[in-house]
Structure 1
């Protein structure tokens, strides 16, 4: 590491791709990270996968999630949690690649490296003992890491029956992406978070998303090796119980065994990247500043010249939620087929419904991301660069230039992207992140970009389109193409639109 990473701006610039300046890198296939954590000899709780999955329309579910208004505050049982795990992270298909099985999953992941893990702290769940558990995807079970009552982390002002913890293992992504991997670990945590909140909404469970917590204390609770694995998101399940008078975070925590910490090691030849550890540690301190909502136009060099209202049809169509989850894929076989006004407006509206005041994300951090669109031929509005205003439910036209082919070039010359008739642009102002939240603001922005990116995948699937996320970007080249402000950055891009069908 050539410089000390203390801010979001430092890390993003230190790990930026520049044309003609990429260092060649060969993947060490002999030491590829394992995709499953192992805890030998620890007891397990088998999850029942026989329950019928909820029958709900995807579009109705997104509407239901607004402000969490229709959720129940009843204490959940183990069957509901089993179903929540199935809906959050599941295997959707199996194929063979060079003689090795490959499993498609319901969650998007950069390079299919799946750096995330899910843990569950149980406080009051019917059919489960209090304690801390790790979710094993392939064996559909929970491994017991702690027995007995555990503190609620972070503390809550209402009853908590259980808490989901989403973690990231650095080397699973760094094996391929090296010091840039922290970006993808955060994006993938956001992908998983979106699936989790949809699952909890489909099951009618009351929840709250927490991005601020004591990093060290959570690592101790879950038995993580903080050099290798860190917690990125907490999601509390709330119930109707009265809040205990005793502080919920007062119980002392003992460290778990060295064998449990060792499970965070996923290869016998791991490489530690100082930039990743540095930015994560720099962001361990929670800012006490409550940032005001960042006007979306601040990330741009130019303001929109005109606006288009989102005229959404009363009946946008229907798509079974669980079918959408199982059919989600990264697809690149885009075609320039014409799309209807209703289809386009419905897709954009689905994205707007996940942002602004109706989002379940912590209020202050909703402003960490600005969403733009590059529109190509075939969409029912003129080609150009547009900005989404989710509060007013409208699109602002920033430029009438056709930029999809140039953006494909800026995405490491992945020219298949030029055929995607819609590019979703997840942008931020790095200086604003640092000013309002310090280096932890980078987590907020990247996790939110990933969460919305997963929603783009699902909305595209529900619309009969394809989608593919792109994190490999010549960073400054893309920012200049969009004429972003001096500290503006394109964090993530999802190409979407009609695709070839069989």
Structure 2
């Protein structure tokens, strides 16, 4: 039996760690006959074709009618968030790549649109069909009030007409990554949330992120089987061209229970058990005064190590072009790098990556959101292992985003160790810099319950996607890594032991 003080989130994290002494024994051959299809199909429904509204020009044509402009914006938002960007041959078949990255190309996330009923989109439930770039209306009825009720009457849903619901289809990722897939499902969703945030800025929307909802109610609303698929994020989609929808930000994260009394859960069942026990139950939280419990931002960075070298990182923001043209182009052409040359980056390049990822207030003049929604960035810390950055000594650094500086905590070139920590992947060895997102899991659970495990991974994935896009824009290589030797990362790099490693992003010159 697990120790009574260890919550199910802590237990799950410990159980799904990779360890060099046991990983080899866990490796199993994939059953390719059971490989899941990363698309959802509906036998009945009405399709709304979005392809005619994809325009080469970013400016709506003056001659267009209001309805065509409305459809053009929604079409571009969905395409840039999760649309197909390439078709790659694979084993006699084809693999379709999307604008948001996914571990193993498995794409566990599904995107739904809930319409309150607009002049252009009837009230009901829609699934985004990325293969055909269309919306499938599979339930034509007014369900908005049910969505509000499931989200504890979140104020962002009062004046908006559209909402996005992101779900996770568990088996798509678990087929390959087994119980550890839960981590990757939420990292992948974080990538998608990052795309939705930025694509919304391009198309004059503002997504309001809602993580606190009654899971069963949202699942029932979408008519999905909770054993196979579960709602994991709701976004009220405010139309910035409608003055009534220019809303103030609201609470994004609500706590769940902290489960400590749980039985032994066999391997292969842990993922679904954990998800079920991070849900918010009806009648427990009640109708909440959401803005009153919004997490206040800390004014100082968490770590200020004594006697460490401190290096400023403030820099000139990345120029995303007129009407964010370069940002839209970058979202479309983004790819995960497969190999690095081992050549150095410049310190100016690293500073630019950090600036776009962590300093959104520097991009107001380019019409990006100065305070995009995360669940709680106060819980996420960033460490950087530098192996090849001109003008920056090799070693491990803590990045202090509020002070905008790097604080060196280890003096060493870690290429050999990074190769080991990243499960022998050459990406770790040949990268010029490797970014680690971490969190004090025990402290986070004390604040938000076991549900915080979702929030942490989605926030880390969101940050990772901003790193992806900044790197691609600068013609650098970038690739996220969700598989690593958890405990050994802290030991090797000198990261405080309380910091659980959530995500790794490698950066370098593409080969």
TM over 0.5: yes
How far residue 108 of structure 1 moved from its aligned partner, in angstroms, is 0.7
Alignment of 1:30-69 (within 5 A): 30-52=33-55, 55=58
Partners of 2:490 and 2:192 in 1: CA distance: 27
Residue 15 of structure 2: aligned partner: 14
**Gap change, CA 1:165 and 1:272, over 3 Å in 2:** farther
**Gap change, CA 1:339 and 1:179, over 3 Å in 2:** closer
**Gap change, CA 1:126 and 1:317, over 3 Å in 2:** closer
Residue 499 of structure 2: aligned partner: 488
How far residue 296 of structure 1 moved from its aligned partner, in angstroms, is 8.0
Asked if structure 2 preserves the Cα contact closer than 8 Å seen for 1:426 and 1:493, the reply is: yes
Asked if structure 2 preserves the Cα contact closer than 8 Å seen for 1:205 and 1:237, the reply is: yes
**Gap change, CA 1:434 and 1:405, over 3 Å in 2:** same
Residue 274 of structure 1: aligned partner: 269
Residue 254 of structure 2: aligned partner: none
TM-score using structure 1 length? 0.83
**Gap change, CA 1:290 and 1:161, over 3 Å in 2:** closer
How far residue 488 of structure 1 moved from its aligned partner, in angstroms, is 1.6
User: For each residue in 1:464-498, what CA deviation from the matched residue of structure 2 results, as whole angstroms up to 9, or x when unmatched?
Assistant: 10111111111111122233333321111010122
**Gap change, CA 1:3 and 1:311, over 3 Å in 2:** closer
2:442 equivalent to 1:431: yes
Residue 29 of structure 1: aligned partner: 32
How far residue 119 of structure 1 moved from its aligned partner, in angstroms, is 0.1
User: For each residue in 1:54-103, what CA deviation from the matched residue of structure 2 results, as whole angstroms up to 9, or x when unmatched?
Assistant: 649xxxxxxxxxxxxxxxxx9x9333212211111122222212221122
How far residue 317 of structure 1 moved from its aligned partner, in angstroms, is 7.7
**Gap change, CA 1:303 and 1:231, over 3 Å in 2:** farther
Residue 452 of structure 2: aligned partner: 441
2:373 equivalent to 1:361: yes
TM-score using structure 2 length? 0.81
Residue 182 of structure 1: aligned partner: 182
CA RMSD of aligned residues (A): 3.0
Residue 171 of structure 2: aligned partner: 171
Asked if structure 2 preserves the Cα contact closer than 8 Å seen for 1:17 and 1:475, the reply is: yes
**Gap change, CA 1:466 and 1:229, over 3 Å in 2:** same
Match of 2:480, SS state, is: strand
Structure ranking higher on relative contact order (CA contacts 8 Å, 6+ apart): 1
Residue 415 of structure 1: aligned partner: 426
Partners of 2:164 and 2:128 in 1: CA distance: 10
Q: Which of 124, 137, 160 in structure 2 is aligned with 1:144?
A: 137
Alignment of 1:63-462 (within 5 A): 77-151=70-144, 152-153=147-148, 154=151, 155-157=153-155, 158-239=158-239, 240=242, 273-285=268-280, 293=297, 305-313=308-316, 320-354=326-360, 358-362=370-374, 365-462=376-473
Asked if structure 1 preserves the Cα contact closer than 8 Å seen for 2:168 and 2:229, the reply is: yes
Partners of 2:140 and 2:407 in 1: CA distance: 54
Partners of 2:318 and 2:470 in 1: CA distance: 15
**Gap change, CA 1:438 and 1:192, over 3 Å in 2:** same
User: For each residue in 1:13-63, what CA deviation from the matched residue of structure 2 results, as whole angstroms up to 9, or x when unmatched?
Assistant: 01111112021211111111111111102222222344325649xxxxxxx
User: For each residue in 1:247-301, what CA deviation from the matched residue of structure 2 results, as whole angstroms up to 9, or x when unmatched?
Assistant: xxxxxxxxxxxxxxxxxxxxxxxx9932112221221138887656568865x79
Partners of 1:491 and 1:367 in 2: CA distance: 14
Runs of at least 5 residues in structure 1 that lack an aligned partner in the other structure:
57-73, 244-270
Partners of 2:218 and 2:488 in 1: CA distance: 38
Partners of 1:462 and 1:149 in 2: CA distance: 42
The aligned length equals 454
